[in-house]
Structure 1
Amino acid sequence: MFRRIKPIERREEVKFPADLRKLGYFINKQDQIRRIEEPSEGFKYYIHKVERVNERHREAIDECIRRVLDKRFAAEGLSKHYFPRGCDPKTDRCVPILISDDLDDTEKVLIIVGSTFDDLGVWSVREMEGPGINHGSMISTIQSAKEENFRFIILNCGQNVYSPEVGRAVRYTTWKAATKSSPHIDEVLNRVPGHENVQNHVRSILDEVKGRVLGKKRIYFLTYGWGCWGVVKYLNDHFSEWKSSLEALIAVEPTHTISDIVNPDLVHFLRTRSRGYIAHADPPGTFIPDKRFISQTFSTNQMHSECIIPHVWKSLMLPWFKRVEEDPEGCNPVMAVDWSAVEKLQEGWGDASLHTKADLDPNKWDFYDEDDEEEEEMSEGQKPWLRNLEQVVDLRDAEQAASITTGLQAVNLQENIRPGSGGESKSNGVGKAAPSA
């Protein structure tokens, strides 16, 4: 048996001011947070042996960043709107989102749905410490998109816990730093009605704003992580309402799968006018065979998922939105994928790339399961490689003049072909370019 020989020491909470200078930091000319004593050094998390002190110190820095971003978003013409509608942010449980002040004066609306672990308007705190605050936040995303006449609705999936101590909805790390260590979240008292989770938040906000955008605007979605899952689940139930206004969707590190979708119209939309971008070592824009998300998937040459949008938004994502605007029915190049070869490669089978010369004949490519022996009658002019859409990744492109002439030639327009997927002399059966129509 054990007995306590002295009472547990109760330490008083260490308080840090929400002031960068008093905390020993400043924002340099490169828009980076740096230490005053060591201007070449960034944020230092471990300042004390007690983890609780480190958490509260980091939260003080984050509060300074939030205040800086509030001013910058206002300068870009975005204001906070609080939901549920009609609530008082000073006394009621509510969630803020950002909406462009001139939303009604534009034809193109970009709806941004971020992660479940960051503050409103933030992509990556990691990138704020590196390239700069604007780079790691949505400020740089907004500035470049405004040049293409976009206006914005920015949802808030991260600040999903209401903290009485702070007096507003906060992300979990803020909640933890503001309350006792390992705090219990009351699923009634510490949640905002209608915004208890990602799916409820997305549904509540899109239902609220659809009167301002549907039938009046061309709508584009930029989603990240679980935010993408919330949007796809919502569209699965309401696609008929949004179909005529919806232009395109980008999913970064998507979390939805084909099993989440039963709406055939949404499936067609995801095949033809959506793209997924994932953390992957291949060069940015390299096609990655992956049929989990229905839409085609591309690499970004990023290790951390939160760094994807800050690094490839201007080079890959925004240009693709422009392609959708110019040619919505041909914005994706066509590429047929031999999924059996992909599965063999994923299993590590070395013989997956051993094909005979007959495999290089585009007239003999087989895109179907081995047990699919049923021959379907094709109407005149219909292409046999389109019989089974589940075996084809739809990557159509307006420049399909690049076609198969002799041997195996990869369609390589704005996207790269994954190494060893068709551009080499030895085919591994992955990513074969489909003959043009």
Structure 2
Amino acid sequence: MFRRHWSGLPKDAYFPYDLKELGYFVNEDDEVRSLANPDFYFKYFLDRNERINFRQRFCMDYALQKIVHERLEDEGLVKVPLPLGTPSTEKHIPIFAEKSLSKKSRVVIIFGECTKVLGWVAGRVITGEGGIDKGSMVRVIKAVHEQASTATDEGPPGVVLANVGECWWWPEEKRALTVTSSFNVPMPSLVHAGVKTTPDLNHVKGYTSPEDNVKSMFEDVLPHMLGENAVLDIVAVGDTCSVVEKYLDEKAAWDTWGKNISSMVLVDTLLQADQLINPDFKDFLAKRARCYQIYSDIVDLPLAPPSGNPSLFIPALGVPCYSSSEPNYAECILITALEPILDYLQRNALGPTLENDLIPVPLMPQLEGEEEIPETQELTDENWGEVAEGDKPVVEVYHAERLDRYRKQAEMWERYAETGQAIDPTLEDLARGEGA
């Protein structure tokens, strides 16, 4: 009989939180490259053991997150622990907010995806082609700061970066993590299944889910940060869109905030209009909100009115939809369509009475260089030679015995569907007098 001691288990993978020690640097294009070979980006598949890959990515993300946070602070943002008044050394959820936010006449609040860390937009861009600024909220903040607040205030608007994803407190390092990242913290061995979540240790009261975080932002944080007459622009990304919409759809919430919200941009929302019940909020979505969808065509191309567009398989989302020029990933829409998104917020801020343009239900747009599909024409002996080879119908010749075998199989399946009994094809042939 054999017994394995805990000390005999393989040690968990260790990686530092420093970019250089991990073997990478930031080049002149702001891209993360390998020190061993500057032509290469971050290498995720370091080992066949996926736990080792997860641990490397966990430490790499934190090293980059520290860089992103430093750059956000250089843009004038301050990290604020929640609940308000909590010391940064105690259990909290961090957000970023502009200095002197109460003096701003217009504030843009950005709700990232439910799986993203604070300051992140797209990890595939941060560690790949594009670089740190482009793949994070740094580029977004810089672009917002180039705008004017309102028609009467030429100063830049204030910014709040909400933290919807980091709902898990890590007491060992005194910082908040996403639920996904919590599986990648150091463990006693390389083969441990995971870390048990203890609510008293790992949950911040009132901030245990994306719904809690969104509710807290509107009910506990913004009332203490915003000026009395400040207007609010909202940007929500991915799965967070439905969380924000459902909260504002509540009558009490919309009665409180409806008069202050100037406009809203939803990045790839999936919540359909029939799931909303507040007519005032639905009217706002149709008139002062916009959605950008995954779509490979040119950016800012109208795709659907609030009633949807069946030809593009877009349901009635209650908000006009536009192309983002991003064909694959919702997290990249804020990168590819950032300019029209912020232009829309700016337009509404400068025009408090403006409403969305009425857009018709567009058919599937014809891509550049794509030939128009000709109408179907009857094929005759005379025009057969004019038809392109790929457009001609396929003609095959079957032997009579082969067709008869297909016919018998079809009959047996029909009888099986009616009676539920399988039929022996040999006996069937004998019954017909066709067998030996």
Q: Report the TM range for the smaller structure's normalisation.
A: 0.7 to 0.9
**Does 2:255 align with 1:230?**
no
Matched residues, percent identical? 25
Alignment match of 1:205 (pick from 197, 217, 220): 217
**Does 2:254 align with 1:239?**
yes
**Does 2:31 align with 1:32?**
yes
Gaps of 5+ in 1: 338-409, 411-416, 427-437
- 1:70 is aligned with what amino acid? H
The Cα of 1:325 is off from its aligned counterpart by 2.5
Look up the match of 1:305: 330
The Cα of 1:21 is off from its aligned counterpart by 1.2
Gaps of 5+ in 2: 148-155, 188-192, 304-308, 374-436
**Does 2:84 align with 1:77?**
no
**Does 2:180 align with 1:156?**
no
Look up the match of 2:96: 98
Look up the match of 2:205: 193
Residues 133 and 139 in structure 2, CA contact (< 8 A), matched pair in contact too: yes
Residues 215 and 244 in structure 1, CA contact (< 8 A), matched pair in contact too: no
Residues 13 and 55 in structure 2, CA contact (< 8 A), matched pair in contact too: yes
Return the alpha-carbon distance in structure 2 between the equivalents of residues 71 and 204 of structure 1. 25
Q: Deviations over 1:302-342 (max 9, x none)?
A: 1111111011101x1111122213434434211244xxxxx
Residues 214 and 242 in structure 1, CA contact (< 8 A), matched pair in contact too: no
Look up the match of 1:254: 269
- 1:257 is aligned with what amino acid? Q
Alignment of 1:115-126 (within 5 A): 115-126=113-124
Alignment of 1:343-422 (within 5 A): 418-419=364-365
Return the alpha-carbon distance in structure 2 between the equivalents of residues 54 and 136 of structure 1. 21
Look up the match of 1:175: 182
The Cα of 1:63 is off from its aligned counterpart by 1.3
Q: Deviations over 1:59-106 (max 9, x none)?
A: 111111111112111100001111112323313x21000100131232
Structure 2 SS opposite 1:222: strand
Residues 104 and 227 in structure 2, CA contact (< 8 A), matched pair in contact too: no
Look up the match of 2:173: 166
**Does 2:108 align with 1:110?**
yes
TM-score of the pair, normalised by structure 1: 0.73
Return the alpha-carbon distance in structure 2 between the equivalents of residues 173 and 24 of structure 1. 24
Which moved further from structure 2: 141-150 or 208-217? 208-217
Look up the match of 2:131: 132
Q: Deviations over 1:140-175 (max 9, x none)?
A: 011011011121111001111112233221113431
Look up the match of 1:343: none
**Does 2:283 align with 1:283?**
no
Structure 2 SS opposite 1:205: helix
TM-score of the pair, normalised by structure 2: 0.73
Return the alpha-carbon distance in structure 1 between the equivalents of residues 132 and 143 of structure 2. 15
Structure 2 SS opposite 1:21: coil
The Cα of 1:53 is off from its aligned counterpart by 1.4
Residues 34 and 40 in structure 2, CA contact (< 8 A), matched pair in contact too: yes
Return the alpha-carbon distance in structure 1 between the equivalents of residues 42 and 145 of structure 2. 31
| Structure with the larger RCO, 1 or 2 (CA within 8 Å, 6+ apart) | 2
Of structures 1 and 2, the larger Rg is shown by: 2
Q: RMSD in angstroms over aligned alpha carbons?
A: 2.5
Residues 117 and 158 in structure 1, CA contact (< 8 A), matched pair in contact too: yes
